Amino acid sequence: MSMLTEEIRNFSFEGWLNILSTQSRDTAPDAATWYEELFTIQTIVVPRQIWGDFSSILPAPDLATAQANAAALPSIIADYSLAANAIHCTPSPNNKVFFATSTYNDLSTRMYNWILPQLIPRTDAPFVGFPSIGYMCRFWQGDPNAGGTEIPTTQDQIGARPGWFFHFGTGCFVVASNFSAISDPTDIWLTGFQYTGAEGGGGGGALVSSITQANTFTQAQVVYLNSGTGLWELALANADGSLGVALADAPTAGGFNAVYGGPITGLAGLTPGEYYYLSDTVPGALQIGKPSLYQNPLLHAETATGGMVLPYRPNKAGPTADYKTWVSRTMTASGSITASDEIIQLDGSSAVVTAQLPSAGLTSGQFIHVICIDNTNLCSLTTTGGETISGNNGYTFAQAWERIKLFSTGSSYIIL
């Protein structure tokens, strides 16, 4: 014989508590209460059920607010609430279940993850904690953009027993066997809001910190926390203190999500497979080429509109020779020293590179002369100028040379 009504009821009740009912009768000997059962239900979770950007979804007490939230977060919330954007649902063979599909009558295009109002508690008094009813899905007989009629939530309801319900996770309407409001099962439509943000898998979604701060950031701009002001600002690869640590995701006037690692979407014009670095000229911008001094990789593009944020440490490009190292040079004769031996690579900051003569100093008339060298060519002494080092108290270059070439009439000197 089939299961008894009481068995089905007890299975359902204990299953709601995540308990596996093994003694589901109401009376002995096959009876046990929920606290006497031994096993739990192991729920199967697929990656699409893990919403990596869930914390970005803002409350919506009404439809207009939900639409505004979707407009501000287009990579996370897809707005199908307008009649012109309604979804044509595909019916099951018995016309009792209607699936949201991007292509009608093609179940391989099912649309999951519709936003359940109860998932997003309201924050407006006196309705704090109430469902965000602005995200509610609506059910239509006929295309609402061509005169279709909405099927109300109370249709065919008797007491607390509804005539239909919508399963938000799987994106389908389920109706009672004798439901009266469907005249054409091939013409059922849905309006509402779908979650389209990052989905979990493997280790889950992105590594994200939710930041509450007034800002004017745009999607995926590079940001850093200014240690002086305590505020998040646009990063720039031109100094140690302004390098980027995260990308701004779903920014609004009052806050944003700082993505330190993992997936991000909502960009445009990316080249899949390329690494993107923080720009040294445009605050908050990403670029493919490495800046010359600070190299701050932040994104690996996977599509034209998204990729993986990289938790890589920035790198400062260093010199190829003789940087911040005491090197003693001895000359056998006065005059120019060969460039191959005496071109010194600097770091672009004159303040940290010094040249010092031997403790004995130079004799009268002796000196070391320094001229600039750019990336490829010697600069003319007459057009660029140089600096003369004399004495033995150390010398700091006045200009931020990239490299230097040394000429001397002295016998020895030291470069630091």
Per-residue pLDDT of the chain (416 residues; tens, 9 = 90+): 677 888 888 888 888 788 888 887 888 877 888 788 888 887 777 778 888 788 889 999 999 999 999 998 888 899 999 999 999 999 999 999 999 999 999 999 999 999 999 999 999 899 999 999 999 999 999 999 999 999 999 999 999 889 999 999 999 999 998 899 999 999 999 999 999 987 775 444 568 888 889 999 999 999 999 999 999 999 999 998 999 999 999 888 888 889 999 889 889 999 999 999 999 999 999 999 899 889 999 999 999 999 999 888 888 765 443 333 333 344 333 333 333 334 444 443 333 334 444 444 444 444 444 444 333 333 333 334 455 554 444 445 554 444 444 444 444 444 43
User: Cβ of 316: how many Cβ atoms within 10 Å?
Assistant: 13
Q: What tokens does 55 get?
A: 């914390």
Nearest to 84 by CA among 140, 11, 144: 144
Question: What CATH architecture applies to the domain 207-316?
Answer: Beta Barrel (2.40)
Beta strands in 18-114, from DSSP E residues, in sequence order: 19-20, 39-40, 77-80, 87-91, 97-100
CA–CA distance, 205 with 187 (Å, rounded to integer): 37
| Nearest C-alpha neighbor of 141 from the set 112, 115, 164 | 164
What are the domain boundaries of the chain? Answer: 5-43, 51-163+175-195, 207-316, 327-415
Beta strands in 38-124 (DSSP E): 39-40, 77-80, 87-91, 97-100
Single-letter code of the amino acid located at 33:
T
Residue written as token pair 């389920």: 174
d(CA 345, CA 342): 10
Contact 198, 262 (CB under 8 A): yes
Cis peptide before 291 (omega within 30 of 0): no
